[in-house]
Amino acid sequence: MSSPESVASYYRLHVFVCTHQRPAEEARRGCGDRGSAAARDHLKRRAKELGLGEVRINNAGCLGRCALGPVLVIYPDAAWYRFDSIADIDEILDRHLGRGERVERLLLDGPVTPVLTA
Ligand code: FES
């Protein structure tokens, strides 16, 4: 059995983009109802074009931060971002995924408060 210290990340960076959608009758909207799937597609395409093969972009269901969305999280950095536009996605791509810089203006602040859903 390996210890946590001996386990290397399979990917240099692993990005989870929430694309969760909610039924129209629900008052609370999901990130997927606010354009996150297009943002995910753009991020995947641009990461591939830039040759960031060590970066993995995945869909995620609800990440529990719906009110702040649309959101994505990057591990192992545990960097949570909100994005409002493709320009925001491009900035995260260029600075965080490309150069290892956090994009302070888009980071979510505060502790994660899990949202329990039935
Ligand atoms: S729907 Fe995206 S965090 Fe909940």
DSSP of 56-106: EEEEES--S-GGG-SEEEEETTTEEEE--SHHHHHHIIIIIIIH----GGG
CATH number of the domain encompassing residue 61: 3.40.30.10
- Compute, in angstroms, the gap from residue 2 CA to the centroid of ligand 1: 33
Ligand 1, CB within 6 Å, residue ranges: 18, 20, 30-31, 62-66, 69, 71
Q: What is the pTM of this model?
A: 0.86
CA–centroid distance, residue 8 to ligand 1 (Å): 28
| In-domain check, residue 114 | no
Domain annotation covers residue 1: no
Q: How far is 51 from 44, CA to CA, in rounded Å? A: 11
43 occurs within a structural domain: yes
Write out the chain's pLDDT in tens, 118 residues: 555 555 677 899 999 999 999 998 998 999 999 999 999 999 999 999 999 989 999 999 999 999 999 999 999 999 999 999 999 999 999 999 999 999 999 999 755 555 555 4
Shortest-distance Cα residue to atom 1 of ligand 1 = 30
Judged by DSSP in three states, 22 sits in coil
Burial zone of 114 (CB within 10 Å; 0-12 exposed, 13-18 middle, 19+ buried): exposed
What is the domain count for the chain? 1
State the amino acid at position 45 in one-letter form: R
Do the domain assignments include residue 117?
Answer: no
